[in-house]
Amino acid sequence: MTVRNVTPPQMQMPNLKTTFALGIGALLALLVLAMTFASWRTIQPGQVGIVFDKARSQVTNTAKPGWTFINPFTESITDYPVSLQTLTMVQNNSEGKVTGDDSVKVGTKEGQSMNADVSVQYSIPIEQASQLYTIWAGAPIGTIEDNLVRQVTRAAMNDVASKYGWEDIYGAQRTQYIADVSVIIRDRFAAKNVKFEALNLRGWHLPDNLQKALDTKITAQQAAEQQTFQLQQAKTKAEQDQVQATGQANAVIAQAQGEAKSTTVRAQAQAEANKLLSQSLTPDLIRYQQLQRWDGKLPVFNGGGATPLIDASSIISGTTARR
pTM of the model: 0.57
Helix axes 312-322, 283-293, angle to 10 degrees: 100
Is CATH 3.30.479.30 the classification given to domain 84-206?
yes
Task: Give me the residues paired with residue 75 across strands.
Answer: 53
User: What is the model's pLDDT at position 120?
Assistant: 97
User: What is the model's pLDDT at position 323?
Assistant: 45
CA distance linking residue 108 with residue 168, whole number of Å:
10
CA distance linking residue 57 with residue 66, whole number of Å:
25
Helix axes 174-190, 151-161, angle to 10 degrees: 140
Please list the pLDDT of the chain residue by residue as tens digits (323 residues).
454 554 555 544 557 777 767 677 777 777 666 666 566 677 888 888 888 887 787 887 787 887 877 777 777 888 889 999 999 999 987 777 788 889 999 999 999 999 999 999 999 999 999 999 888 988 899 999 999 999 999 999 999 999 999 999 998 899 999 999 999 999 999 999 999 999 999 999 988 777 676 677 667 777 777 777 877 887 888 888 888 888 888 888 888 888 888 888 887 887 777 677 676 667 766 777 677 776 766 665 555 555 555 555 554 454 444 44
CA distance linking residue 106 with residue 205, whole number of Å:
11
The answer to whether 51 and 61 are in contact (CB under 8 A) is yes
User: What is the model's pLDDT at position 298?
Assistant: 61
What are the extents of the domains in the chain? 33-80, 84-206, 258-294
User: What is the model's pLDDT at position 281?
Assistant: 63
User: What is the model's pLDDT at position 259?
Assistant: 80
Q: Strand 66-69 to strand 40-43: parallel, antiparallel, or no bridges (unpaired)?
A: antiparallel
User: What is the model's pLDDT at position 128?
Assistant: 92
